[in-house]
Amino acid sequence: MEDQPIEEKAISREEYIQKVLRAYRQTPGTTGTVHRPDRVLAAQLQERGVPLEAVENALVLAAVRRMVRPDGAPPLATVRSLAYFSPVIEEVLHSPVSPGYFQYLRQKIQRLTGTGR
């Protein structure tokens, strides 16, 4: 995942879709593969006016939840669809959370995956 949230600005439909799919591919615990239903969902999110930042924050939140598990817990299956994150996207849209919290989560992912700079 990138360090900074995706900037909010007027972008084309296709650019929005590409940014959502790039963020999904980079999310720890996913296959990194995009399929047609993922593209359709990204387009639907754009049509609904879901902010890119909300989608990215949801991916980060879900990734951390999947990574931080009790010792001895069985491993989780790899996420194979953007649709897996739909409930978390809705949660982020309806929960006022400080942007600083999502930055904290990004740093946590970096520590957990060893990708910190």
What is the pLDDT at residue 34? 97
Q: Among 93, 117, 90, which residue's Cα sits nearest to residue 106?
A: 117
In tens, the pLDDT along 45-98 reads 999 999 999 999 999 999 999 999 898 999 899 999 999 999 999 999 999 888
Domain extent, residue 94, equals 13-69+77-113
Query: Which residues, at least 6 apart from 64, have a Cβ–Cβ distance to it below 8 Å?
Result: 105, 108, 109, 112
Place of tokens 């995942």: 1
Alpha helices in the chain (DSSP H): 13-26, 36-48, 52-67, 86-94, 99-113
Q: What is the mean pLDDT of residues 2-25?
A: 80
Distance CA(91)–CA(98), nearest Å, equals: 14
Residue 30 forms part of a structural domain: yes
In tens, the pLDDT along 15-37 reads 999 999 999 999 999 999 999 99
Q: How many domains does the chain have?
A: 1
What is the pLDDT at residue 5? 47
Does the pLDDT of residue 104 top 70, yes or no? yes
Residue 3 forms part of a structural domain: no
Residue 4 forms part of a structural domain: no
Q: Which amino acid belongs to residue 25?
A: R
Distance CA(104)–CA(60), nearest Å, equals: 10
